[in-house]
Structure 1
Amino acid sequence: MLWPVLRALSIGELTDDQLTWVRETFGLTDGPRTEGPAAEDSLAHRTLTDEHGVELILDLAGLDDDAWVFTLFRTTAENPSAVSVEGWRAAFRAAIDHLNLELVEIQPAATADEVLLAYSEPTYTPESAFRAHWAFPDELDLLWPHLGLLRDAPRKVKQVKLRDLMLTPAWDLAPASLHQQAKEFLDGN
């Protein structure tokens, strides 16, 4: 079984030479993974271990013709070291920059620019997914999982996701207490 530890989604077109560069830079074996989530989209992969001996799989997947996913999976219940994960985050970002791809998101996000914003155009209606299928909690701490965040996510990441949610018409349905807590959180309290 494979569990994603770090996933970077980017968009842009890549030439065959650029794909070769990615495979060589990351030491990937040409050919897809045969197991785990989205194995059918896998193009190349590599098995490795972190400095504590935790087995990992590094994978490059292609979606459509212009979306690229760099993923680091763990193969056991053991988590890789934070140093290792942050090293791969930096490597993914460096490759995306080198290839002139557009970073869409990195999960889990560590900085605000790694957050995928769902609300960028005023196309939401009051019958959004929040209104139709979910009741807002009364406590801000209970909101983070609904935004795809852990409670210990970086504050700036939480701020970006919260501001994005607040732009939706669904935010009007949130309890007054949640509005107040959100305002205080964004004000730095």
Structure 2
Amino acid sequence: MLWPALRVLSNGDLASHQFQELLGVLQLEAIPRTDGPGATRSVAHRALARDTSTRLILDLARTGTSGWVFTLFFDGEPPSTATVEAYRVLLRGTVEQFGLALVEITPAASADEVHVVPSAPGGAPESTLAPAWDLPYDDLSQMWSHLGLRRDAPREVKEIKLREVMSSPAWPAAPAKLRRQAESFLHGA
């Protein structure tokens, strides 16, 4: 089974010749991947050399008319941190080289790799329903995985994701213990 080790979401238009150049830069074959999650949206991929018992695949998929998803998949043991970081550098450079807008990188290593959903416009009507906290968490250490973060995620990434949750209408209904821990975390404690 293929699992994503690194996923880079970007947005932008590519002319046909730019798309072909991008495939060349990443040495991808214009053959869609046929297995693993998101295979139906795959447009190109390549199998990477194995340095351990892990199988690695670099994939390019489309989302909508101008969305691009670059994913490093693995089968077996997760790739080393050094391998993931090398592909992070390669894929960020590719996004920049082709003038694509970086939307998000998972797992995020810095604040600019976190996608923050824009808040509703100021004139949007408020819901008449009372906000509810439906999550079973009352401790901040339990909530990181729900936010798509590992416990060892960089602090700046945790801060952005936490602020996003705290700005939701449901936050005031969160357990008091969790709200205190979140405030303490954001104030450096």
Per the normalisation by structure 1, the TM-score is 0.90
**Structure 1: how far apart are the matches of 2:151 and 2:112?**
19
Give the deviation of 1:91 after TM superposition: 0.8
**Partner residue of 1:23?**
23
- Asked if residue 120 in structure 1 is aligned to residue 149 in structure 2, the reply is no
**Structure 2: how far apart are the matches of 1:91 and 1:120?**
31
The farther-off stretch of 22-31 and 48-57 is 48-57
**Partner residue of 1:81?**
80
Give runs of aligned pairs for residues 22-41 of structure 1, distance below 5 A. Answer: 22-41=22-41
3-state secondary structure, aligned to 1:30 = coil
3-state secondary structure, aligned to 2:170 = helix
Give the deviation of 1:127 after TM superposition: 5.2
Give runs of aligned pairs for residues 29-178 of structure 1, distance below 5 A. Answer: 29-49=29-49, 51-52=51-52, 54-76=54-76, 78-121=77-120, 125=127, 131=132, 134-135=134-135, 137-178=137-178
Give the deviation of 1:113 after TM superposition: 1.2
- Deviations 1:17-50, CA, capped at 9 Å, x for gaps: 1111111011111110111111111111000135
Per the normalisation by structure 2, the TM-score is 0.90
**Structure 2: how far apart are the matches of 1:127 and 1:29?**
51
Amino acid at match of 1:59: D
**Structure 2: how far apart are the matches of 1:75 and 1:139?**
33
Give the deviation of 1:142 after TM superposition: 1.1
Amino acid at match of 1:157: V
Give the deviation of 1:88 after TM superposition: 0.3
**Structure 2: how far apart are the matches of 1:50 and 1:127?**
53
- Deviations 1:69-115, CA, capped at 9 Å, x for gaps: 00000022x11111110010111111111111111111111111111
Cα 1:94–1:126 shift into 2, 3 Å: farther
Amino acid at match of 2:91: F
Q: 1:126–1:170: 8 Å Cα contact kept in structure 2? A: no
Cα 1:125–1:159 shift into 2, 3 Å: farther
Give the deviation of 1:125 after TM superposition: 4.4
**Structure 2: how far apart are the matches of 1:167 and 1:98?**
34
- Deviations 1:109-167, CA, capped at 9 Å, x for gaps: 11111112235325684759x837x2352211011122111111111110000001111
Amino acid at match of 1:74: F
- Where does the alignment leave 5 or more consecutive residues of structure 2 unmatched? none
- Where does the alignment leave 5 or more consecutive residues of structure 1 unmatched? none
The CA RMSD measured in Å over matched residues stands at: 2.0
**Structure 2: how far apart are the matches of 1:151 and 1:88?**
22
3-state secondary structure, aligned to 2:163 = helix
**Structure 1: how far apart are the matches of 2:110 and 2:87?**
15
Q: In percent, how many aligned pairs have the same letter? A: 46
